[in-house]
């Protein structure tokens, strides 16, 4: 089973949005400009993860780019 994974950049920060099993949800990882993970969040589904990153980090839905298929 292949899970979807997206990335976005805001300034020097990199964000990864990663799908897990439906009963788990979607992980959001925040990386600093040195590549260190400085935060992670879990949301129940894709729409909630997009809404969270929009509100918390000001990442527009159009900024996310699929990095696996």
Instruction: Report whether pLDDT(1) > 70.
Output: no
Please count the structural domains in the chain.
1
- Residue 69: inside a domain: no
- The pair phi, psi for residue 45, each rounded to 5°, is -155, 175
pLDDT in tens, 17-38: 999 998 899 999 999 999 999 9
Which single residue is written with the structure tokens 């899970």? Answer: 3
Q: Residue 68 falls within a domain, yes or no? A: no
Single pTM value for the model: 0.90
| Domain with 29 in it | 5-60
67 is a domain residue:
no
Q: Is the pLDDT of residue 14 over 70?
A: yes
Identify whether 66 is part of a domain: no
> Is 33 among the domain residues?
yes
Q: Which of 26, 27, 22, 69 is nearest to 46 (CA)?
A: 26
């Amino acid at each position: 089973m292949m899970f979807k994974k997206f990335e976005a950049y805001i300034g020097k920060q990199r964000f990864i949005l990663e799908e897990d099993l439906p009963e788990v949800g979607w992980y959001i990882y925040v990386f600093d400009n040195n590549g260190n993970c400085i935060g992670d969040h879990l949301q129940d589904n894709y729409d909630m993860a997009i809404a969270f990153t929009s509100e918390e980090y000001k990442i527009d839905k159009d900024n996310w780019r699929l990095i696996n298929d």
